[in-house]
Amino acid sequence: MARKGKVAVIGAGFYGSTTALRLAEYDIFDEVVLTDIRDGWAEGLALDMNQARAIEGFETRVTGKTTGADGEGYEVLAGAGVVVITAGLPRKPGMSRMDLIEVNAKIVRQVVENVAKHAPEAVLIIVSNPLDEMTALAAKVSGFPTARVLGQAGMLDTARFSFFVAEKLGVPVGSVKTLTLGSHGDTMVPVPSASSVDGKPLAEVLTETEIEPLVTRTRNGGGEVVALLKTGSAYYAPSAAAARMARAVAEDTGEIMPVCAWVDGEYGISGVYLGVEAEIGAGGVKRIVERDLTASELAGLREAAEAVRAKQADVASL
């Protein structure tokens, strides 16, 4: 099998390192680059991952690199086609995603400036929280076309929703299809009209009263994990989503995925980064996919857009 291209992951915490390993194990890239500001940390993890190659049977090379505040080490990104940015602090119990905004805005700004300098053709996948705001900030700082800057949220939220529905019904998770749009957080918009179990509309399988707590649990999905862990936040499901997005870009699959993308006219919403379905391939977002929403789903999406728009404007000034 032909391996080609380079993908990079910035930030080698649990999220970043798990994403890098998933990307390496796909065995479709020449090289996976992992960077971190802790001295030797990314190099140590890369060495460990490379030693798994003989066991798991993948040939993708993993390169670790320590980066500095003044841009040292970022030259390792040269030629990367996709860069996943996980840099930033994770949530602590009781913290909302928005509590992280100021500290993570500084980190993301600095990272994106360096990425844009060394990998000017890359597609950026942002996973730093608060997600929608950091994606908008990355687009502004990089100056990249909006199609090449997207955020990971919808796939994770949708996966959580699907899991909760499957658990409630005691059915295989593969038989459940769900969808969430809007923002990653309080104004998340679950789309029951686009959700089904074994091909049957969700509304025929569960009552509205049964669906509502699953929606609430999905909306608080990250917080539930944070509260249980006490330190750190979710990374197995989030990294799976980010890696799948990176793969769709690298292999130009044209898969339709719920992602945080630039919306300009779709659903009557303009000029904001928002969770929508998009066709993902080479160059990032090929197009936004509009589906027929119910009146209340559409109203929820427009409401989410306005809430996110106000916060994105605040972040731009940080």
Tell me the Cα Rg of the chain.
Answer: 19
Both tokens assigned to 280: 């993902």
Q: Find, among 62, 115, 64, the residue nearest to 85 by Cα.
A: 115
Q: Which residue has the tokens 């990272």?
A: 111
DSSP letter, residue 308: H
Buried residues in 281-315 as b, exposed as e (16+ CB within 10 A): beebbeebeeeebeeebbebbbebbebbbebbeeb
Residue in the structure block whose two tokens are 């949220």: 153
Do 9 and 19 contact (CB within 8 A), yes or no?
yes
138 near 106, Cβ under 8 Å?
Answer: no
Q: Confirm whether 184 is a catalytic residue.
A: yes
Residues 57 and 86 sit within 8 Å (Cβ to Cβ): no
DSSP 122-161: PEEEE-PSSHHHHHHHHHHHH---GGGEEE--HHHHHHHH
Q: Hey, what amino acid is at 91?
A: R
3-class secondary-structure state, position 70: coil
Question: What distance in Å separates the CA atoms of residue 216 and residue 212, rounded to the nearest whole number?
Answer: 6
Q: Residue 206 corresponds to which tokens in the numbers above?
A: 């569960």
Indicate which residue of 22, 65, 118, 184 is catalytic. Answer: 184
Check: CB of residue 41 under 8 Å from CB of residue 262: no
Partner residues linked to 295 by β-bridges: none
Q: Which DSSP letter does residue 78 get?
A: T
Catalytic residue list: 184
